[in-house]
Amino acid sequence: MSSSPEASPDASTVWEPAWPCPAGSILRQQRRGGSDPSYRIDPGGAHWRGVRTPEGPATLRVQQHPTGVVHASAWGAGAEWVLASVPRLLGADDDVSGFDPLQPLVAEAWRRRPHARFGRTGLVLQALIPSIIEQKVTGQEAFAGYRSLVHRYGERAPGPGAELKLWVPPDAATVRMIPSWAWLELHVDPARSRAIVTATRVAEALERHDGPEDLDRRLRSLPGIGVWTSAEVRSTALGDPDAVSFGDYHVAKDVGWAVSGDPFTDAELADFLEPWRPHRNRAVSLILGFAGGRPRRGPRMSPRTHLPGRTPGSR
């Protein structure tokens, strides 16, 4: 098959959302930093993703026309699977009918973004591995570690993947075989690499979850996975509107600053968000999307310099 982005896809579909779906902004929820090797946006505005599906690797191309209609094409063994996932990936499963803004800031944000939704990939492991890598490190360090992992152990996405420099993340079996010294070269410390490898050993059981609460229980039963990581995974893989990332370096402080002028602790954030259950993360997303983060006046978290292969000032 030609590697040209114009090559005929293995499957394609057209989907017309039942609401004014902002496809691009919903898709970008899945992006792991600006240099995510499994995500590209081409000059024509099409979104490309390299996906590890239960049926095999796939390349997905999604483009929304000005009319709102979504055109999707796919290549590879997982083409049919990934095409079937497009509506839920773009938020079709996110039910907002019970959401009440309640608070003036949230109400104004909801007025401005009434069509925002949480998309879901349905792929737990593909969300879990980068979420573990992102634990307790700067975004720069986390995104670089994930990018290195995918480049070294993933594979080129099918069809147009080579020309687009698009990658599919590695599967569980491949990740399980990565030696400890190689994780250090990826700037992933032993605590995080152990958590990743342990998760890959039960990957099939994690994918067979029975909804957000069951997945939360399964994830948090694993060593090295806590409230924050579980919420990050449930938000991405399941589109869970209640999955708040408690323990995040910024979220509680930024929400507190936005609504009161003073940073919140996690406990204060939990109390504030309780009236929105089971839409707590929707409230957080609206607040931060509208108000942004608080001014950064203090010292910032710096990338660590003590792992093998890293020298002070390296990137």
Please give the pLDDT value at position 293.
Answer: 67
Please give the pLDDT value at position 57.
Answer: 98
Contact 99, 279 (CB under 8 A): yes
Q: How many CB atoms lie within 10 A of CB 271?
A: 11
pLDDT per position in the chain (315 positions), as tens?
A: 334 555 799 999 999 999 999 999 999 999 998 889 999 999 999 999 999 999 999 999 999 999 999 999 999 999 999 999 999 999 999 999 999 999 999 999 999 999 999 999 999 999 999 999 999 888 888 899 999 999 999 999 999 998 999 999 999 999 999 999 999 999 999 999 999 999 999 999 999 999 999 999 999 999 999 999 999 999 999 999 999 999 998 999 999 999 999 999 999 999 999 999 999 999 999 999 998 767 665 554 445 544 544 433 322
Please give the pLDDT value at position 297.
Answer: 57
Q: Which of 306, 273, 291 is nearest to 103 (CA)?
A: 273
Q: Which of 183, 228, 169, 220 is nearest to 199 (CA)?
A: 220
Please give the pLDDT value at position 6.
Answer: 58
Please give the pLDDT value at position 291.
Answer: 84
Contact 155, 52 (CB under 8 A): no
Please give the angle made by the CA atoms of 163, 164 and 170, to the nearest 5 degrees: 105
Please give the pLDDT value at position 34.
Answer: 87
Contact 212, 191 (CB under 8 A): no
**Cis ω before 278 (30° cut-off from 0):** yes
| Tokens at 197, concatenated | 């490898």
Q: What is the dihedral of CA 210, 171, 130, 94, to 10 degrees?
A: -40
In whole angstroms, what is the distance from residue 147 CA to residue 32 CA? 9
Please give the pLDDT value at position 1.
Answer: 36
Rounded to a whole number, what is the distance in angstroms from the first to the last CA of the chain? 37
Please give the pLDDT value at position 221.
Answer: 97
| Tokens at 66, concatenated | 């000005």
Helix (H, G, I), strand (E, B) or coil at 281: helix
Please give the pLDDT value at position 139.
Answer: 81
Please give the pLDDT value at position 310.
Answer: 43
In whole angstroms, what is the distance from residue 213 CA to residue 196 CA? 21
Dihedral of alpha carbons 308, 52, 217, 134, sign? positive
Please give the pLDDT value at position 7.
Answer: 74
SS3 content of the chain, % helix, strand, coil (to 5): 45, 10, 45
Q: Which of 228, 233, 271, 234 is nearest to 251 (CA)?
A: 228
